[in-house]
Chains A and B, each alone.
Chain A
Amino acid sequence: MGDIAAGRCGGAALLWSCERALVAPASLSRQPGFKRACSRANDAGWPVHLRATGGDLVPQGPDIVNLSLLFRAPPGAAFGLEDAYRQLTSPICEALSDAGISARYGAVPGAFCDGRFNITIAGRKFAGTAQRWRPMADGNAVQSHALMLMRSLDGNTVATLNRFYHDCGIDRVIDAGAHVGLHDLLAKDTDARAQHRILRMIAVRAHASEAHAPAANTRVLSRHLG
């Protein structure tokens, strides 16, 4: 994002995954129990990292695929927060639609890092979204991000999220049933190929939609896309 703000890069679309971890917004680190929560999560095999986008605590791991768009937005009212969310979520919703899966937007009570611009399927959260905006001389550098679940949250993940909130002194409970993963929506005998195809469609569409990123560089992960 610093490269975009400095004019060294036009934009990028990244499809990526990472090792198991918890990722928290910087604001959460000001909670009095945050250090203890981090220590306990780390001991349980969940290292904690801070991020610069807004939102709340999220899990990361091999069953999650992220789409990040980085680009320069023009100044003024021509391109705002809602536009950036549409630009981010359209490739995902279109790819799901092509696969026969109907997706909508909306908050889901009990979902982790809940928000109005979640992508939902049958009322359950499939993807969460967040952004970061940095002013530039002639507009803004924008990072938008979607976290997509390949599998529904397992018991260990839900317990880890809830224990973290409890240790931070935050009264919030995550419900496993509020989430749905791509794997759960596909026929068992074809899910690997179908998942590969859907992620490939998302990558291609995200790359094509980067209207504000002429130098976009879409990278994909071999683990998910072969």
Chain B
Amino acid sequence: MATEVKVPQDLWQDDGMEAVITNWLASDGATVRKGALIAEIMVEKSQFEVTAPADGVLTITKQANDIVRKGDVIGTIA
């Protein structure tokens, strides 16, 4: 069963604020370890590091420069 990689739900309060994926640090199809830094997102001049929530193979579903909101799924790990 795949584990979702999500934009954190509780890092900011304003539901209307949009973030952008500034960088994927792991490639689509790469094997990643739980806790590894795999992406960065930016909102209101704040850079958030996204870490892998599980071990496995990463599938990227939102690309760099895509706009995302809190709670959005940006990839999966299976």
Q: Which chain B residues border A140 with CB–CB below 8 Å?
A: 11
**Interface of chain B residues 13 through 57 with chain A (CB within 8 A):** 13-14, 22-23, 42-51
A residues less than 8 Å from B42 (CB atoms) = 27, 54
Minimum Cβ distance to chain A for residue B58 (Å): 17
A117 and B45: CB pair below 8 A? Answer: yes
**Distance in Å: Cβ of B71 to nearest Cβ of chain A:** 12
Residues of chain A contacted by B49 (CB below 8 angstroms): 132-135
Q: Pick from A74-82, A148-156, A204-212, A213-221 the stretch touching chain B.
A: A74-82
Main secondary structure of the interface of A (DSSP, over half): mixed
- Is A113 part of the binding interface, using a Cβ–Cβ cutoff of 8 Å? yes
**Cβ-based interface call for A55 (8 A):** yes
Contact A115 B44, beta carbon cutoff 8 Å: yes
Asked if A18 is at the interface of the complex by the 8 Å CB criterion, the answer is no
Q: Across the A-B interface, how many residue pairs have beta carbons closer than 8 Å?
A: 66
**A53 CB-CB contact with B under 8 Å:** yes
A26 within 8 A of B: yes
Q: Which single member of A27, A81, A113 contacts B43 (CB below 8 Å)?
A: A81
Asked whether any CB of chain B lies closer than 8 Å to the CB of A203, the reply is no
B47 CB → nearest A CB, Å: 4
Interface on B for A, CB 8 Å cutoff? 8, 10-14, 22-23, 42-51
Are the C-beta atoms of B13 and A27 separated by less than 8 Å?
no
Contact between A130 and B22, CB atoms less than 8 A apart: no
Interface size bracket, A side: 20 to 34
Contact of B12 among A26, A81, A113 (CB under 8 A): A81
Query: Does B23 lie within 8 Å of A54, measured CB to CB?
Result: no
Known contacts A27-B22, A27-B23, A135-B51; is-contact A129 B45 (Cβ 8 Å): yes
Is there an interface contact between B45 and A131, defined as CB atoms closer than 8 Å? yes
Least Cβ–Cβ distance between B43 and chain A, in angstroms = 7
Q: How far is the CA of A132 from the CA of B49 in the complex (A)?
A: 8
Cα A226 to Cα B42 with chains together (Å): 37
Residue from A52, A82, A85 whose CB has the most chain B CB atoms within 10 Å: A82
B45 and A53 within 8 A (CB): yes
State whether B23 touches A26 (Cβ < 8 A).
yes
**What are 13 residue pairs bridging A and B, where the CB atoms are less than 8 Å apart in the complex?**
A26-B22, A52-B47, A54-B42, A54-B44, A77-B13, A80-B10, A81-B13, A129-B45, A130-B45, A131-B47, A132-B49, A133-B49, A135-B49
Q: A80-B11, A85-B44, A128-B45 are in contact. List 16 more A-B contacts (CB 8 A).
A: A27-B22, A27-B23, A53-B45, A54-B43, A80-B13, A81-B11, A115-B44, A117-B44, A117-B45, A129-B45, A130-B45, A130-B46, A131-B47, A132-B47, A132-B48, A140-B11
